[in-house]
Amino acid sequence: MKATYIDYNETNSFSSTALRYLAQDSRLEPFVSYFPTIENFGKLIAEKKVTADRKALHDVVFHQYAETLSTSALHEKVNDNIKLLLEDSTYTVTTGHQLNIFTGPLYFIYKIVTAINLATELKEKYPEKNFVPIYWMASEDHDFAEINNVNLFGTKISWDAQVSGATGRLDPQTIEEALRTYQNSLGLSKNSDRLASILKAAYLEQRTLAAATRFLVNALFQEYGVVVVDADEPALKRQFRDIVEEDILAKKSFRAINDASAKLKEAGFDPQVNSRDINFFYMKDDLRERIVEDKGTFYVLNTDIQFTYEELRLEIRSFPERFSPNVVMRPLYQEVILPNIAYIGGGAELVYWLQLKQNFDQFGINFPIILLRNSATLTDESFSSKLCRLHLQAKEIFKDAETLKKEWVLKNSRHSLSLQEEISEFQALFEKLKLRACKIDPTLLPSTDAVKARLKHALLNLEKKLIKAEKRNHEGTLQQIDGLKAKYFPSGGLQERTENFGIYFVKYGDTLISELVRHFKPLDSKFTILEP
pLDDT at 48: 95
Closest CA to 504 of 411, 399, 378: 378
Instruction: Using DSSP, state whether 531 is helix, strand or coil.
Output: strand
Closest CA to 212 of 92, 138, 101, 320: 101
DSSP H or E run through 453 = helix 445-473
C-alpha pair distances (Å), 37 with each of 25, 46, 330, 522: 14, 15, 25, 10
Alpha carbon 88 to its chain's center: 30
Cβ neighbour number for residue 520 with a 10 Å cutoff = 22
CB-neighbour burial class of residue 237 (10 A; exposed 0-12, middle 13-18, buried 19+): buried
Q: Which residues contact 435 (CB under 8 A, 6 or more apart)?
A: none
State how far the Cα of 377 lies from the Cα of 399, in Å rounded to an integer.
14
End-to-end CA, the chain: 4
For residues 220 and 75, the answer to whether their CB atoms sit within 8 Å is no
Cβ neighbour number for residue 123 with a 10 Å cutoff = 15
State how far the Cα of 410 lies from the Cα of 459, in Å rounded to an integer.
17
C-alpha torsion 418→419→425→431, nearest 10? -120
Angle between helical axes of 475-488 and 383-390 (0-180°, round to 10): 150
Phi, psi of 439 (to 5 degrees): -65, -35
Phi, psi of 302 (to 5 degrees): 65, 20
Predicted confidence pLDDT, tens digits, the chain (532 residues)? 999 999 999 999 999 999 999 999 999 999 999 999 999 999 999 999 999 999 999 999 999 999 988 766 889 999 999 999 999 999 999 999 999 999 999 999 999 999 999 999 999 999 999 999 999 999 999 999 999 999 998 899 999 999 999 999 999 999 999 999 999 999 999 999 999 999 999 999 999 999 999 999 999 999 999 999 999 999 999 999 999 999 999 999 999 999 999 999 999 999 988 889 999 999 999 999 999 999 999 999 999 999 999 999 999 999 999 999 999 999 999 999 999 999 999 999 999 999 999 999 999 999 999 999 999 999 999 999 999 888 889 999 999 988 988 887 777 656 565 667 767 777 777 778 778 887 887 887 788 788 778 877 877 777 677 667 565 656 768 888 888 999 999 989 999 999 999 999 999 999 999 999 999 999 999 999 999 9
DSSP state string for 371-415: EEPP-EEE--TTHHHHHHHHT--GGGGGS-HHHHHHHHHHHH-SS
State how far the Cα of 357 lies from the Cα of 335, in Å rounded to an integer.
12
For residues 232 and 96, the answer to whether their CB atoms sit within 8 Å is no
The residue extents of the domains of the chain are 2-238+329-375+507-531, 396-491
Q: % helix / strand / coil in the chain, to the nearest 5?
A: 60, 15, 30
**Residue 531 Ramachandran class (φ > 0 left, ψ -120 to 50 alpha, else beta):** beta
State how far the Cα of 266 lies from the Cα of 354, in Å rounded to an integer.
13
Closest CA to 229 of 363, 132, 326: 132
